[in-house]
Structure 1
């Protein structure tokens, strides 16, 4: 099943750019139906999105983090919700590469398999017989409406009586769907809540989160592939920057598409492009997008360089990736806020992408792993010589 020719980064990015018109055409449908269109999933499958982080021996590409970021940035220029779901599905598919080989054989038997999940340990897992039983309710389960499998974070009481974070892999069809996704931003992601009720999980499909955080794969075959030796949080956080960068670039393109036909109401400017305020605004936005791109690529490149070197991560390096993601989020939002303000009253119509992009970046900045305030505080703690106040680094 292993593919003999792996597409280059440039080829994968080019393929992603070619489906932007499809994503743009479906974006309003995504908003209205609160999920991705089947045509969108088919387009993502066609460009190999679901193979990016799959082991080569199962027909995957084992693409590095920088490649994923650049591909997601292209997808984000078509639709933010699609890029978000793509980030989640690619990240969780990558985590399957850290499971035992028998589990990988089962999951990757489905070509272009889609794996969703949630890292927030809102469930409980209990050892029973030759397996485990999972119970719980999870919110923000992005990608679950389109996935075959789901990785669900849960807590298990350790032998010392302390809660131990675990992750359980279950068929998504075995989870109860709670259709509560009615939001202001990222509406098309279909990030519904899900629940498990006395769900039996075979022992080999339950892993401790600690080895995942440390970057230790359970599969000897995958230990030779550098992407499966990287720690979970920096890797997933770095990849998130692609969606943020794509949204900012989409806003810039949309602004310039509308610019030739626009004036500035209640002023003497019949052409907005001739107003000095416009020149200042687009110049500032261009610089903010450049800065966001710098942080997105620096975080991704650090992840790739560390796994290639085989050297241990320092705590400062780990939190610096979260910092880069936070700065990409903040700068993308600042850029989009400027363009949204400059777009005038006509931009509030639902057929103008700017209003959707503005709501999507607002929602993205509230996600815990990329929240600017959360990540800046964490980085500042380390600079001040304090221990991190979380294991999620």
Structure 2
């Protein structure tokens, strides 16, 4: 199937998101309360083409570069961190679906504005049978699952030599059971529920060795010539995630300056918070942290895009630096939000003030296993010290 589609510019996609800001922001309270994205917000993002950004052009997708993901997610993160996270998560498994054989992609992308959720953590067992495997397992933190058509799962399957190894498989959401267990303090609007497979048959063409995927190997004939599909998974996942975090940090700054003109500092002689030297220090420090986070986000995107265009081999140091850049964005973004939240006073803890939601969301992101600043920084330092990485997720 070949579809002609107009390829919007990066700036056009950002503008589309920006135009939706009032509408999307009006639904943030609903998403918090109902613990998932609003159906209408998903429809709005679909109409804006956000779910086409990692879809191959031959299916009507945009095949956007990584910098476009960062900029669009940043703008969306300024509006709603949970919604930005959900869109970012869709981009990663959608990209992963593009590594499968072309006939599998024909099936996946036959659905307009298809949404693929997923995980990188093994949560099940795959038993080989004729024509494929039978999968049983449970996967948690599946962001966007309530609005997904497919899920990318990771399971452990015995190989031809009998040795177990992780595999990546694509499963229709209709064949999985959703457990509504997403009761959290942060990122409440992401619908990151658990999913369960019970004797689900997966045909062999929808199963790939995870090790090959992590090394950037693809089973697709059509996509091998496209720069965005010939880079390793973890740098792609890292670069796909940073924009939402950067956007949340910028959202905190936006909210702070919106509220500042009407705020005094209680129990002091300051009639305006803007007069206090402490405020000057806090806003400057937070802004510098956001600037630093933006540097790491853009450096990461540039490395992924450049090496994809050049079809260049990735060194181990480059791979772990991608994760270090991701961790740096998370750490610096949280530091900026913490500073601005502290400066926002007791009135900011009310539910109708966005600062408290942004602060909770940023805390949750920094606890994510792949994004945790300490884990990523340690990994980078380990390799810089001449040691082998202690993970396959590079």
Shorter-chain TM-score tier: over 0.9
Matched-pair contact (CA < 8 Å) for 1:27–1:79: yes
Q: Which moved more, 1:17-26 or 1:256-265?
A: 17-26
> In the TM superposition, what whole-angstrom CA distance separates every residue of 1:186-224 from its partner, at most 9, and x where no partner exists?
001010111101101111111111221111221111101
Q: Secondary structure of 2:121's partner?
A: strand
* Secondary structure at 1:56 match in 2: coil
Count of aligned pairs between the two proteins: 393
**Contact 2:91 / 2:240 at 8 angstroms: preserved in 1?**
no
Corresponding residue number in structure 2 for 1:266:
267
How far did residue 4 of structure 1 move? 4.1
User: CA RMSD, aligned part only?
Assistant: 0.9
What TM-score does the superposition give when structure 2 sets the normalisation length? 0.98
Distance 2:21 2:241 in 1: 19
Corresponding residue SS for 1:185: coil
Q: Deviations over 1:253-310 (max 9, x none)?
A: 0001001100001111110011110011001111000000000010111000111111
The within-5 A match list for 1:73-112 is: 73-112=74-113
Tell me if structure 2 keeps the 8 A contact 1:76–1:242.
Answer: yes
**1:72 and 2:94 are equivalent in the alignment:** no
Specify the alignment match of 2:325 in structure 1. Answer: 324
Distance in 2, Cα, partners of 1:232 & 1:96 = 11
Partner of 1:150: 151
Partner residue in 1 for 2:140: 139
Partner of 1:202: 203
User: 1-side partners of 2:29 and 2:189: how far apart?
Assistant: 8
Q: Distance in 2 between matches of 1:2 and 1:14?
A: 24
- Aligned pairs (5 A) from 1:120-131: 120-131=121-132
Contact 1:3–1:60 under 8 Å retained in 2: no
Runs of 4+ residues over 4 Å off in structure 1: none
Deviation at 1:160, TM superposition (A): 3.6
What is the deviation of 1:106? 0.4
Aligned match of 1:390: 391
User: What runs of 5+ residues in structure 1 fail to find an aligned partner?
Assistant: none
Distance 1:49 1:344 in 2: 36
Deviations 1:314-339 (A, max 9, x none): 00000101000100000000000000
Which residue of structure 1 aligns with residue 190 of structure 2? 189
1:1-393 counterparts in 2 under 5 A? 1-393=2-394
Please list the CA deviations of residues 36-57 of structure 1 after superposition, one character each: whole Å capped at 9, or x if unmatched.
1011101110111110000000
d(CA) in 2 for partners of 1:239, 1:168:
20
Secondary structure of the 2:186 match is: coil
Structure 1 contact 87–239 (Cα < 8 Å) conserved: yes
- Structure 2 CA distance, aligned partners of 1:141 and 1:243? 17
Contact 2:128 2:158 in 1 (8 A): no
Q: Per-residue CA shift, 1:137-172, capped at 9, x if unaligned?
A: 111011111100000111112234432110111111
The gaps in structure 2 that reach 5 residues or longer are none
